[in-house]
């Protein structure tokens, strides 16, 4: 077993930390993770490196980096090669856009997720939850139409562009609120679920 050289900082119940752990598995990196953030709090040493008071952050002996999607792009470029980070700018950008698209989607899904995971059911604000579920559904209808035309968000094969929305799709399919059917999205998600790094590190209790 290779000595871990790729250090991930962050609690695993964070969507943004899950992205990094899952992708480290996909790339076969020798990685280790330290709990920090949320209920674990922060150390002065961590905050000196990441003043945002957020997770994740990575260190690999070459760079210390925060912002999860920037970390994914770095990992794909540095450790993935052509298969994970196409040199063709158009191929790369067509996958890349879904990584930034996830940021807008995450805003819409935040309240339904936090309600399910951290708020007693008696205190759920159902009108606000239904409003945000409808916003999620409007966005996912776009994703569904795209996935009806191409097998992966990264194009013809699974790639880094699939990672961010893969993590958020797990939450979406776990939400106990009414939602429309999205056949192409559901088919993509079934294929995502077969990836060992996803089932081990993303499909954990949502807290
Ligand atoms: N844009 C940042 C967002 C990071 C972020 O919001 N992380 C959340 C967890 S998903 C966080 O650190 N919350 C505060 C905490 O855990 O202490 C990224 O993608 O890395």
pLDDT at 2: 82
Ligand 1: distance of its center to the CA of 16 in Å? 6
Atom of ligand 1 nearest to the CA of 42: 17
Q: Of 26, 59, 80, which residue is a domain's last? A: 80
Report the C-alpha gap between 202 and 188 in whole angstroms. Answer: 16
195/159 Cα distance (integer angstroms): 12
Give per-residue pLDDT as tens, 35-85: 999 999 999 999 999 999 999 999 999 999 999 999 999 999 999 999 898
Q: What is the pLDDT of residue 3?
A: 87
For residue range 98-153, list pLDDT tens digits in order: 999 999 999 999 999 999 999 999 999 999 999 999 999 999 999 999 999 999 99
**Is position 143 within any domain?**
yes
Indicate whether 41 belongs to any domain.
yes
Nearest CA to ligand 1 atom 19: 68
pLDDT digits (tens, 9 = 90+) for 84-97: 989 999 999 999 99
pLDDT bracket for residue 1 (50, 70, 90) = low
CA of 90 to the centre of ligand 1 (A): 29
Answer yes or no: is 39 within a domain: yes
Residues 36 and 130 in one domain: no
Torsion over CA: 77, 79, 85, 86 (sign) = positive
Which is nearest to 136 in space by CA: 110, 116, 115, 114? 110
Domain check: are 106 and 38 in the same one? no
CB contact at 8 A, 23 and 163: yes
- Structural domains of the chain, count: 2
């Amino acid at each position: 077993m290779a000595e871990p050289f790729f250090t991930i900082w962050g609690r695993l119940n964070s969507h943004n930390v899950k992205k990094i752990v899952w992708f480290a598995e996909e790339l076969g990196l020798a990685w280790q993770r330290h709990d920090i953030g949320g209920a674990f709090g922060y150390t002065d040493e961590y905050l000196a490196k990441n003043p945002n008071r957020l997770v994740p952050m990575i260190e690999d002996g070459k760079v210390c980096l925060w912002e999860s999607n920037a970390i994914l792009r770095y990992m794909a470029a540095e450790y993935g090669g052509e298969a994970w980070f196409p040199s063709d700018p158009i191929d790369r950008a067509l996958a890349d856009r879904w990584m930034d698209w996830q940021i807008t989607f995450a805003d819409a899904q935040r309240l339904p997720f936090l309600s399910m995971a951290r708020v007693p059911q008696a205190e759920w604000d159902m009108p606000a939850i239904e409003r945000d579920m409808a916003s999620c559904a409007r966005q996912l209808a776009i994703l569904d139409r795209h996935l009806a035309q191409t097998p992966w968000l990264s194009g013809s094969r699974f790639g880094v562009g699939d990672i961010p929305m893969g993590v958020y799709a797990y939450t979406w399919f776990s939400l106990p609120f009414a939602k429309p059917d999205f056949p192409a999205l559901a088919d993509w998600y079934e294929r995502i679920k077969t990836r060992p790094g996803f089932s081990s590190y993303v499909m954990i209790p949502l807290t």
